[in-house]
Amino acid sequence: MAKSIVTLVDQLPEDNITTKVLNALDFVFPGEWVNVNSFDDAIRSITKETDPAMVQRVRDKAIALYDDKKNGYKGAISLYQTIDKADTALGTAALANKIGEKIGLLGFLEKITPKADTSQTIDLILKISVEILAYCKLNGIPKANPKLFVQALRENYQGAALVRMATLVCVDGLLPLGPDFLEKVHNFVGSSDQSEIQQNTGYTVLGSALPGDDNKSKISFLSENFEAVRDWMQELIDQTGVTQSSVFGHVGSFIKFADDNLDFVAAFLDQTTNYFEHTGIQTVATHLIRDAHVAVKEELGMPALEAATISMDEGTRMQAIQEVAGETRMQSIRPQLRHVQTGSLLPIPDTSIVHIGKPNDQVTTEIDLSRYPDGDVVSRMHANLWTENGQEYYLLDVGSSNGTFVNGQQLAPKQKTTIKNGDRIDFGRNQKVSLIFEMP
């Protein structure tokens, strides 16, 4: 029987080779990864709820959503687990191959194992495709869409998901294949000989998970995915300055290999780590907890401001409810936003500029849309809302990736527009994340 999402998170190790590698690579995206290995702790951290009853409600709802076959949570977990199992086999083969190259008496291993560079290259392109497939499952996208994935990768990836992709570049690209790995992989996937991919253990294990009716179409899918992500990987290298030597300098401190044996290090990491599964479980849990929290609040009929009082003890909660009620009466002329898809109310804070988007390290996000369904289409810094005289309100798209629309008309970036009572604001196309501006 498959493990529940709660068990999967609770059983994540606190300290092993995988966590050591992820901690060592913190220099690429500092502070993005925290090894949360308690599902209830994750609920409290993500939702800011601390009341045991509310935490239990979110927990129960998360379990129900995870077990519902029409959702993609289990499918995403299965993909992350499958690629890491295949990765272990690839790492064993690559390590045996490297030993065969270095030690004459074991040279016969070269004749029965694939070349390490080939194994590492195939591993890289398979992991990219798994990430795209898992992303689409989590977000209810019926067909794998590399273009949509890359857009989300640029604008919305953070936390464990961003660290997973950065680790892919470092551990499965730079370390084993060198600084020109993108060109090497490009040449490999563009070659006419597909036999090496077809015979690969990882490709065989993934099997039906890859879309396509035959090997040709499946391999074409792998190639398309790599080419779609290639520019992002190069940008990551350029922006962070990460190099093969800097990666080894951080992970080599606890592996204790010599500097001229980077190929051993890469093969060893493939065999001994499961960073895709580890961070994948954390990504799915985060997505699931946010969806469960929204669903619970919707079931309870709680506006966002009232929902915050659930996290307090009984005495403090009653006082807070009274304060909220009083504030509502005194500030009845203040506008609010209604989330169309869930019906939740979002009071507009009394600040000079209300930043709408998702949590980021540049500005405080007063209205966080990441916890609502399809929140991945929202940029971290998407739009600003403010008033200049207390009566007229203005909205400005700050340069979002997917655009901001008022009553169906897309706003020009960096140009403010007046919004009135009843106006519908859509974040991204297809009206998946929508707010109604309400002026009482």
In this prediction, residues 419-427 reach a mean pLDDT of: 94
d(CA 90, CA 94): 6
What pLDDT score does 108 carry? 34
Instruction: Place 1 in a pLDDT band, splitting at 50, 70 and 90.
Output: low
Tokens matching residue 158: 């953070």
Helices (H), 32-158: 39-47, 52-67, 73-102, 109-112, 116-138, 146-155
In this prediction, residues 79-104 reach a mean pLDDT of: 57
What pLDDT score does 180 carry? 95
What pLDDT score does 409 carry? 93
d(CA 366, CA 94): 49
What pLDDT score does 254 carry? 65
What pLDDT score does 69 carry? 85
Q: How big is the CA angle at 429 (ends 426 and 434), to the nearest 5 degrees?
A: 25
Torsions phi, psi for 125 (to 5 deg): -70, -30
In this prediction, residues 321-329 reach a mean pLDDT of: 34
Q: Phi-psi bin for 300: left (phi > 0), alpha (psi -120 to 50), beta?
A: alpha
The full set of domain ranges for the chain reads 5-292, 331-438
DSSP assignment of 160-212: HHHHHHHHHHIIIIIHHH-TTHHHHHHHHHTSS--HHHHT-HHHHHHGGGS-S
Sign of CA dihedral 24, 30, 31, 37: negative
What pLDDT score does 158 carry? 85
**In the predicted structure, residue 281 carries a pLDDT above the cut 60:** yes
What pLDDT score does 315 carry? 37
CA count, 13 A, side-chain hemisphere, 430: 6
Percent of the chain predicted with pLDDT > 90: 45
d(CA 383, CA 375): 14
In this prediction, residues 147-168 reach a mean pLDDT of: 90
What pLDDT score does 201 carry? 81
Task: Flag whether the pTM goes above 0.85.
Answer: no
Instruction: Place 266 in a pLDDT band, splitting at 50, 70 and 90.
Output: low
Higher per-residue pLDDT: 289 or 371? 289
What pLDDT score does 421 carry? 92
Write the class of the CATH domain 331-438.
mainly beta
Rounding to the nearest 10 degrees, give the CA dihedral for residues 189, 190, 195, 197. Answer: 10
- For 166-204, how does the pLDDT look when each residue is reduced to its tens digit (9 = 90+)? 999 999 999 889 999 999 999 998 886 788 898 888 888
Which residue matches tokens 């992991």?
127
For all residues of the chain together, what is the average pLDDT?
Answer: 81
- For 102-116, how does the pLDDT look when each residue is reduced to its tens digit (9 = 90+)? 333 333 333 434 456
Q: At 404, which helix (H) or strand (E)?
A: strand 404-406
Cα 122 vs. chain centroid, distance in angstroms? 22
d(CA 18, CA 338): 43
Percent of the chain predicted with pLDDT > 70: 80
- For 205-256, how does the pLDDT look when each residue is reduced to its tens digit (9 = 90+)? 887 889 888 999 999 999 999 999 999 999 999 989 999 999 988 887 766 5
Instruction: Place 13 in a pLDDT band, splitting at 50, 70 and 90.
Output: very high
Torsions phi, psi for 342 (to 5 deg): -120, -15
Higher per-residue pLDDT: 262 or 24? 24
Select from 3, 15, 83 the least CA-distant residue to 39: 3
Lay out the sheet containing 367-368: strands in order across.
367-368, 354-357, 381-387, 393-397, 417-419
Residue count of the chain, please give it: 440
Tokens matching residue 188: 């490999």
